[in-house]
A and B are shown apart, each in its own frame.
Chain A
Amino acid sequence: MRIAIVIAALCLAACGAPQAPVVASDVEITPPLPGRPMSAGYLVLTNNTDADVRITRVASPQFGVVEIHETTIEDGIARMRELDELLVPARGSVTLERGGKHLMLMRPEGIGDSVLLQFFSDGAPLIEFEYRYGDN
């Protein structure tokens, strides 16, 4: 889906209130493949505020574990590491893409049609949205 359904954003927009602080777009989650109990999540997070936002945790009821990872290729070697947090700079954005930063979704708890993703900043819920497999 081009623009993720950010519930808070839609509500605020409908009410004519200011933009949501953080908006997700260009969301794609790869379906768990046969024999591979994990998925990758790609998206763009845009920060509409004047302060940096740090995403410290991502969760999903459909996956036992969601981690923020980064793939780097240096000297021909692909490495993947977990990141402690994801910085969305003030009035800027961060892109999670193939071969770069991405979400690693592990231990799927039943494979349905959609995934609910919840982003937290220092324990406080920031945004959440539902993604339907194949929508991108």
Chain B
Amino acid sequence: MKFSKLIFACAIGFAVAAGIFLALQMKQPALPSSATVLQNPNPVPAFELVDQRGAPVDETVFEGQWDLVFFGFTHCPDICPTTLQVLAAAQSALREQGVSPLPRIVLVSVDPERDTPEVLNEYVDYFGEGNLGITGPLEGIRGLTQALGIYFSKQDSDDGNYLVDHSAAVLLIDPEARFSALFSGPHVVGDYVHDLPILMGAR
């Protein structure tokens, strides 16, 4: 009898230890695998541009929801549509997982000369509903990008089919319009699906 009691006590002890171990494991905060988190979120600077419907937008357009912001242009056949497709796929995977609210996808044009609101409107709609396109005067775009550490440079071309070099990063802007994390790429759907709930839940 004493032996069986000892076994019972050991089993209880083991179960308690295992429980404590698991509880400690669960208390470990999940960390983003790909995104770089800014220790001090950087407020989006004041700007005056237009959205894809031609309506004026300023920095307050980033208030009230999470935004995934990419800087590209519609005449970019490879990296821009590929990145926007990754963001759209991540958004729909998160929707299927019941994540709410979902981040909005924002394209800021680095080629406002060709990316008029009309052009941008059709383009951002192609990648899903509720996306935001931002364009406007070049100086306005430059003010916004420089403050956020985004580079772009128009390349000369003989035939007018010029290209624009640009930062490949996607920025995460929090609902208080602060640049809070950075996905530097290469952009992979799984990274966003893993990191976004952690990043958006952390605040």
How many residues of chain B are within 8 Å of chain A by beta carbon? 27
CB interface residues, A 56-87, toward B, < 8 Å: 65, 69, 71, 73, 76-81
Closest A residue, CB atoms, query B115: A35
Q: Could you say which of B161, B167, B186 has the most chain A C-beta atoms within 10 Å of its C-beta? A: B161
Chain A, interface size category, equals: 20 to 34
Q: Which residues of B contact A39 (CB under 8 A)?
A: 77
Shortest distance from the beta carbon of A136 to any chain B beta carbon, whole Å? 14
B79 touches A36 (CB 8 A): no
Of B19-27, B40-48, B118-126, B139-147, the one contacting chain A is B118-126
Let me know if B123 and A79 touch, CB within 8 A: no
Is the beta-carbon distance between A36 and B165 smaller than 8 angstroms?
no
- The docked-state distance in angstroms from the alpha carbon of A46 to that of B40 is 50
Closest to A73 in B: B168
Is A33 a contact partner of B184 (Cβ separation < 8 A)?
A: no
Q: Which of B79, B122, B184 contacts A99 (CB 8 A)?
A: B79
- Chain A residues with Cβ below 8 Å from B154 are none
- Compute how far the CA of A116 lies from the CA of B4 in the bound complex, rounded to whole angstroms: 81
The reply on A126 being an interface residue by CB < 8 A is no
| A30 touches B (CB below 8 Å) | yes
List chain B residues, Cβ under 8 A from A99.
Answer: 78-79, 82, 186
Q: Indicate the member of B118, B120, B163, B167 with the most A CB atoms within 10 Å.
A: B163
Contact of B167 among A34, A65, A78 (CB under 8 A): A78
B residues contacting A by CB (< 8 A) are 74-79, 81-82, 118-123, 125-126, 151, 161, 163, 165-169, 184-186
Taking A35-B118, A36-B123 as given, write out 4 further A-B residue pairs in contact, using a Cβ cutoff of 8 Å, ordered by the A residue number.
A40-B77, A78-B79, A80-B163, A81-B163
